[in-house]
Structure 1
Amino acid sequence: MSASSQSAKSKKDESFLGRLGGTLVRRKKATEVSDLHEEGKNAINAPMLPSGKDVHPEDTLLEENAERIMLDPTSRDDPKFKDLLKVLIDWINSELEEDRIIVKDLEEDCYDGQVLQKLFEKLSGRKLNVAEVTQSEIGQKQKLQTVLEAVNELLRPHGWSIEWSVDSIHCKNLVAIVHLLVSLAMHFQAAIRLPEHVSVRVVVVKKREGILQTALVNKELTSTTEMMMGRFERDAFDTLLDHAPDKLNVVKTSLITFVNKHLNKLNLEVTELESQFADGVYLILLMGLLEDYFVPLYNFFLTPENFDQKVHNVAFAFELMQDGGLKKPKARPEDVVNLNLKSTLRVLYNLFTNYKNSE
């Protein structure tokens, strides 16, 4: 960075420091979850090509007419699939934080039924009659059987397709595990935004007359947000944008008036909701004003230069909201950064509802 650029940035920071009025203090959650890590899988669980000679010898132990499904290698490395895994892992860790459970890998952490049991109990408010700790394979499968029976009894009447089984989960079938978690997240209206249009290719191995047959099949894990949200009650913004677009400007005007009432204290002004909150800076400053504290400039990017820095800012603003006692926003930081109007409106309206009487 040139000396002139550094000088300009320094002056900009100083001007903000002048507006913010000095030293900064903030209550921060001491919660840290490790990033998703990839572990090596043995041949029986690893993806493989649809060729008989590439099938692992252990697959010949399949019973007649039985089948095994495994993830294709190209799908395992797909960015959208990885994004879905991260969203699900972060969601589970958020839900089970009080139980001090940290999930790092869905295959390794969900196969024995312990995490799935705790997650279902937390979401449903129903206690399952299962052993707390089960080390043996028989005990693990018995626990899985109880958990999945409860899940299936809950989901099946609502039209959910059951794409999992005790054996597939216990065999660490990642596609089956993801299907199950996505269905639970949508059914319980999890405060997350699942990535749209995530599909994977799987290798299906079947045994017919003693001969192994393989084929590649596409599996859809998520569709559009609108279709996924359509399985449960749509919120006011779905109705507003779909059936009363003429009233949209009225809502936007009300929200702009609300945010400017507070941002004006820093000589800042919003005219476009869609774009001016997309980098997260105004959201962070707004939360500090609403909660009456100053946010340290080193905690966020004052002038974010790329997508990741903007996502960091919005995610940090969401943490501030939760620190203030608000529920986790039903939006992904990526949606706000990508100028998704409904996501931005949901976040701002939640602030308006909780702070509309704040001075």
Structure 2
Amino acid sequence: MESMSDLQEEGKNAINAPLLHTSPELLPEDTLLEENAERTILDPTSREDLNFKDLQKVLIDWINSELEEDRIIVKDLEEDLYDGQVLQKLFEKLSGYKLNVAEVTQSEIGQKQKLQTVLEAVNGVLRPLDWNTEWSVDSIHSKNLVSIVYLLLALAIYYAAPIRLPEHVSVQVIVVKKKEGILQTAHVTKQLTSTTTEMMIGRSERDAFDTLLDHAPDKLNVVKTSLITFVNKHLNKLNLEVTELETQFADGVYLVLLMGLLENYFVPLYNFYLTPENFEQKVHNVAFAFELMQDGGLQKPKARPEDVVNLNLKSTLRVLYNLFTNYKNSE
């Protein structure tokens, strides 16, 4: 309950409001802030910006194609994503993880708890890349379109969505802050997308394998043959044999065993899943193999464990080629 003096104070502020230089774009609810609280509002001119509208359409189409099997259809990012339901389904589809959340939540508390779980999972995935998180439970739940778009862009870029994002999209936002009872406003430009190349660098720079796959597919078989010969030279010691690079490393088991053979140690079976049953266990295995590689002095692989598990040939080749160049002379 607000005290009488608080109400009088608000009344006085309301009377003085026109003197506080607030922007004409602000709605009354945007100005009801606690002391030192801050709110970011999308400038109406940016809302109508064609590039920004194009970006939203690309993201909506992408979500709908990802969630087609769930019979989910998104029409409006603000209205359809704020309660965490669609975000949960999208993250689960992209990552392969199942989040422990209630299915449908009508209450605000329930929705915010769901958002909290989803955002913690997203932030956990992005953390190693030092991604600036331009979103929060409150900003998403209050239907802040810029926050929602930033979050979707991070997921689309990280999970290499098969979409073409419009380049150089930026929007104007109005930052409203209450300091000593007075509202202060500032216009800030927020860059949402840069160039396609810069956006993808967040994941992996182009390297010899990009060139090889794009321009010399005939040489690819030569590389594959060399890598198969190399891995089998070592895996044969355990009576194991690889015939297909694309699939046989996807569950991480051979990668872990190969690292043990190359570094001459026995990997305890409790460190990894010898017969992984789901996506998470396979990712655990590949991530564990990556740790063993770094322990052996190799650079952190450019690929992500999820890419190897998802049968991404380029990622698997990169990892194996790195081992090949470091251990090709070991017996």
**TM-score w.r.t. length of structure 1:** 0.52
Q: Per-residue CA shift, 1:34-76, capped at 9, x if unaligned?
A: xxxxxxxxxxxxxxxx941633332343111111111111111
Once residues 237 and 93 of structure 1 are traced to their aligned partners in structure 2, the CA distance between those partners, rounded to angstroms, is 34
| 2:29 maps to which of 54, 58, 71 | 58
Give the equivalent residue in structure 2 for 1:267. none
Once residues 82 and 186 of structure 2 are traced to their aligned partners in structure 1, the CA distance between those partners, rounded to angstroms, is 25
Structure 1 counterpart of 2:92, one-letter code: E
Q: Which runs of 5+ in 1 are unaligned?
A: 1-49, 252-359
Q: Secondary structure at the match of 1:131?
A: coil
1:91 aligns with 2:84: no
1:168 aligns with 2:149: no
| 2:97 maps to which of 103, 107, 126 | 126
User: Offset of 1:208 from its aligned partner?
Assistant: 0.5
Q: Is the 8 A contact 2:31 2:176 kept in 1?
A: no
1:193 aligns with 2:148: no
User: Offset of 1:214 from its aligned partner?
Assistant: 0.7
Q: Per-residue CA shift, 1:121-167, capped at 9, x if unaligned?
A: 00010001100000011111111111111111111221211000000
1:203 aligns with 2:174: yes
Which 10-residue stretch deviates more, 123-132 or 152-161?
152-161
C-alpha RMSD over aligned residues: 2.3
User: Offset of 1:227 from its aligned partner?
Assistant: 0.4
Structure 1 counterpart of 2:22, one-letter code: G
Q: Which runs of 5+ in 2 are unaligned?
A: 1-19, 218-331
Once residues 168 and 92 of structure 1 are traced to their aligned partners in structure 2, the CA distance between those partners, rounded to angstroms, is 20
Aligned length: 197
**Structure with larger Rg:** 2
Structure 1 counterpart of 2:143, one-letter code: K
Identity %: 72
Q: What pairs with 1:286-301 in structure 2 (closer than 5 Å)?
A: none
Once residues 60 and 201 of structure 1 are traced to their aligned partners in structure 2, the CA distance between those partners, rounded to angstroms, is 18
Structure 1 counterpart of 2:184, one-letter code: Q
Q: Secondary structure at the match of 2:109?
A: helix
Q: Secondary structure at the match of 2:157?
A: helix
Task: Label 1:211 to 1:184 Cα distance change in 2 as closer, same or farther (>3 A).
Answer: same
Give the equivalent residue in structure 1 for 2:115. 144
Give the equivalent residue in structure 2 for 1:12. none
Structure 2 counterpart of 1:188, one-letter code: Y
Q: Secondary structure at the match of 1:216?
A: strand
| 2:187 maps to which of 216, 225, 232 | 216
